[in-house]
Amino acid sequence: MTMQSPVPDNRDNFDQIYKLLQGEYPNAEPMLHFNNPLELLVATILSAQCTDKQVNKVTQVLFKKYQSVEDFANADLTELGKDIYTTGFYHQKAKHIIGSAQLILTEFGGRVPDNMEDLLKLPGVGRKTANIVLARGYDIIEGIAVDTHVTRLSQKLGFTKNNDPKKIEVDLMTLAEKKDLENLSMTLILHGRNVCIARRPKCGECVVSELCPSSEV
- Kindly report, residue by residue over 130-173, the tens digit of the pLDDT: 999 999 999 999 999 999 999 999 999 999 999 999 999 999 99
Instruction: Provide the residue range defining the domain that includes 166.
Output: 11-29+144-211
**46 and 130: one domain?**
yes
Q: Average pLDDT in the 78-104 region? A: 98
> Would you say residue 4 lies in a domain?
no
- What percent of the chain has a predicted confidence (pLDDT) above 70? 98
Establish whether 128 is a catalytic residue: yes
**133 and 54: one domain?**
yes
Instruction: Give the ranges where the chain is alpha helix by DSSP (H).
Output: 14-24, 37-46, 52-65, 69-73, 77-83, 90-107, 116-119, 127-132, 138, 148-156, 165-173, 181-194
For residue 144, the model assigns a pLDDT of: 97
For residue 30, the model assigns a pLDDT of: 83
> Would you say residue 200 lies in a domain?
yes
> Would you say residue 95 lies in a domain?
yes
**Is the pLDDT score of 1 beyond 50?**
no
- Boundary residue ending a domain (107, 138, 169): 138
**170 and 205: one domain?**
yes
**Is the pLDDT score of 4 beyond 80?**
no
- Boundary residue ending a domain (110, 138, 166): 138
Q: How many CA atoms, within 13 angstroms, populate the side-chain half-sphere of residue 78?
A: 0
Averaged confidence pLDDT in the chain? 96
Tell me the C-alpha distance between 79 and 70, whole Å: 15
Choose the catalytic residue: 52, 71, 118, 147.
147
Q: Look up the CATH number of the domain holding residue 197.
A: 1.10.1670.10
The number of domains in the chain is: 2
Tell me the C-alpha distance between 114 and 101, whole Å: 15
pLDDT tier at 5, thresholds 50, 70, 90: low
**113 and 131: one domain?**
yes
**130 and 153: one domain?**
no
Global pTM?
0.92
Was 206 annotated as part of a binding site? yes
pLDDT tier at 60, thresholds 50, 70, 90: very high
**133 and 151: one domain?**
no
Q: Look up the CATH number of the domain holding residue 97.
A: 1.10.340.30
- Boundary residue ending a domain (77, 104, 138): 138
For residue 2, the model assigns a pLDDT of: 40
Q: Average pLDDT in the 10-34 region? A: 95
Was 50 annotated as part of a binding site? no
- The amino acid sitting at 191 is H
Q: How far is CA 108 from the centre of its chain?
A: 24
> Would you say residue 5 lies in a domain?
no
Establish whether 147 is a catalytic residue: yes
**Is the pLDDT score of 213 beyond 50?**
yes
Phi, psi of 160 (to 5 degrees): -155, 155
